[in-house]
Amino acid sequence: MAGNTFGQLFRMITFGESHGAGVGVVIDGCPAGLEISFEEIQAELDRRRPGQNKLTTQRNEKDSLEILSGIFENKTLGTPITFLIRNTDVQSKSYEDIKDKFRPGHADFVTQEKYGHRDYRGGGRASARETIGRVAAGAIAKKLLAEVGIEVEAYLVQVGKIKQTGDLRLKIEDYTEEIEHARADGDSVGGIIEVVAKNVPVGLGEPVFHKLSAELAHALMTIPAAKGVEIGDGFASAEKRGSENNDELINDAVGTSRDLSAGQIRTKTNHAGGIVGGISNGENIVMRVAFKPTSSITKKQMTVDKDNNEVEISVHGRHDPCVALRAPVIVEAMASLVLVDHYLLDKSSKL
C-alpha cells in the first residue's frame, strides 16, 4: 500500500533508505508562484542536521540539498517539487554485528516479518534520516503559511525528568546533565515537544473525519518515536469540570492580544488549544507530542536473532541519546504540512 504519501491537496511522498543512495521528497500540489530560495530550504535541513552540539549523534552528514524539479527562477511552477539529499557519511560497517539481531524497540523484527526483505545496513525507512524529506517539504509549507501570516513554532517542554514550568522555555543547560548521565550509562531519555501555530484563521478543518485536530494528531504520530499527542489541556482536561474547561466567547472589541479588527470574536481562555469541533477557532493552536527514549542504547539488552535464538545485544553506531532534541523542526514541518493542506481544502469548500 502506498504508505509513504501524505496529504490531500498539498501532498508529499518521502523516499530513501538511511544507507542507500540518498533520501528526499516529492511535493505534489504546491501552488505555483511561491518565491523560495535554495538557502531557505537548506537552512531548515541544517536545523535538523546532527552534530550541531555535543548532545546529538556524531554522524556527520552535510545534508546538502539538490533541487531536481518544480522550482524555476526561484519560484514554484505548480509542478512536483523534488528534493534529493545524498547519503554521504554511511558507515554500514558498524551495523554488521546487528544484521541478524533484532534491536529491541526498533522496527527490525516487524519490518522483516512484514516485508520479508530489508536493508539490514541500517534503519532503512525507520531511520531518522527519512525525516529529512519531511523537513524539506516543511520548508515549503512554512513559506506558504507565512504568505498568509501563519507562524508555526515547536520547542522542548520536557527532556527526561526535566520539565518546563511556567512560560520560561527550557534551555540546553537545563537538560545537559540529564542527557550526559544517561549517555554515561549507555542509556537514553525521552522528551515532550510543544508546537504552537499562530494566526490560523477561523474555519480550518473538515469534520467529521478530517478534523484539524485529528489530522494534526495523525501527522505528529507519524514521527519516529512519537507515543502520544494532545491538544490544549489534553489529558488534564479529563479530570476537569465543564465549567473549568469551556472557553467563554468574548467580543474582543479592542483586539488587544492580536492585530485583529474590532468586533472579532475570541475566547477568554484557550483550554481547547485553538480547535473546537475539529475546526480552528482563531486562537493559538497548541499541541504536545511525547517521544519515547531512543531505542538504540549501548547498554546490554536481551533479544532474539533471525534464527529465533535469544541473544545479548549492545547497539553501537552513532545515535542521539534523546531523539526529541532534534525533533522540533520535524514537528514544525508536519504541523505546517497539515495546516497548508487544510488551508487549501477550506478554500475549496466554498464555491
Known binding-site positions: 48, 54, 125-127, 277, 292-296, 318
Please tell me what DSSP assigns to residue 287: E
Out of 20, 151, 155, 170, point to the residue binding a copy of itself (CB under 8 A). 20
CA distances from 151 to 122, 200, 343 (A): 35, 8, 13
336 binds a copy of itself (CB under 8 A): no
Site for a copy of itself in 104-123 (CB under 8 A): 104-107, 109-111, 113-119
243 binds a copy of itself (CB under 8 A): yes
Distance CA 19, CA 162 (A): 34
Distance CA 138, CA 341 (A): 12
344 binds a copy of itself (CB under 8 A): yes
Q: How far is the CB of 111 from a copy of itself (least distance, A)?
A: 7
Out of 50, 122, 232, 328, point to the residue binding a copy of itself (CB under 8 A). 232
190 binds a copy of itself (CB under 8 A): yes
Q: Which CB atom, from 176 or from 237, has the smaller least distance to a copy of itself?
A: 237
99 binds a copy of itself (CB under 8 A): no
209 binds a copy of itself (CB under 8 A): yes
Distance CA 152, CA 333 (A): 9
C-alpha cell at 265: 470574536
At 15, give phi and psi (nearest 5°). Answer: -140, 165
Q: DSSP labels for 27-70?
A: EE-PPTT-B--HHHHHHHHHHH-S-SSTTS--------EEEEES
Q: Which CB atom, from 50 or from 293, has the smaller least distance to a copy of itself?
A: 293
Per the annotation, where are the binding residues for FMN? 125-127, 277, 292-296, 318
248 binds a copy of itself (CB under 8 A): yes
Q: How far is the CB of 94 from a copy of itself (least distance, A)?
A: 18
Helix (H) or strand (E) holding 279: strand 279-280
Q: Which stretch binds a copy of itself (CB under 8 A): 38-46, 50-58, 167-175, 233-241?
A: 233-241
Among candidates 267, 273, 60, 40, which has minimal Cα distance to 144? Answer: 40
Please name the amino acid found at residue 66: E
Count of residues for the chain? 351
Site for a copy of itself in 315-334 (CB under 8 A): 324
DSSP helix/strand/coil, 197:
strand
Distance CA 290, CA 284 (A): 20
Q: DSSP labels for 283-337?
A: SPEEEEEEEPPPS--SS-EEEEBTTS-EEEE---SS--S-GGGG-HHHHHHHHHH
Site for a copy of itself in 133-172 (CB under 8 A): 144, 147-148, 158, 160-161
Q: Which CB atom, from 240 or from 258, has the smaller least distance to a copy of itself?
A: 240
Out of 200, 291, 325, 330, point to the residue binding a copy of itself (CB under 8 A). 291
Q: Which CB atom, from 11 or from 198, has the smaller least distance to a copy of itself?
A: 11
Please name the amino acid found at residue 190: G
258 binds a copy of itself (CB under 8 A): no
* Residue for grid cell 531518522: 128
Q: Which CB atom, from 43 or from 68, has the smaller least distance to a copy of itself?
A: 68
Per the annotation, where are the binding residues for NADP(+)? 48, 54
Q: How far is the CB of 330 from a copy of itself (least distance, A)?
A: 12
Out of 218, 284, 314, 318, point to the residue binding a copy of itself (CB under 8 A). 218
Q: Residues 38-67, buried b or exposed e (16+ Cβ, 10 A)?
A: eeebbebbeebbbeeeebbbebebebebee
Q: Which CB atom, from 45 or from 334, has the smaller least distance to a copy of itself?
A: 334
92 binds a copy of itself (CB under 8 A): no
**x-marked contacts with a copy of itself along 259-278 as a string, rule CB under 8 A:** ----x-x-xx--xxx--xxx
Distance CA 170, CA 156 (A): 7
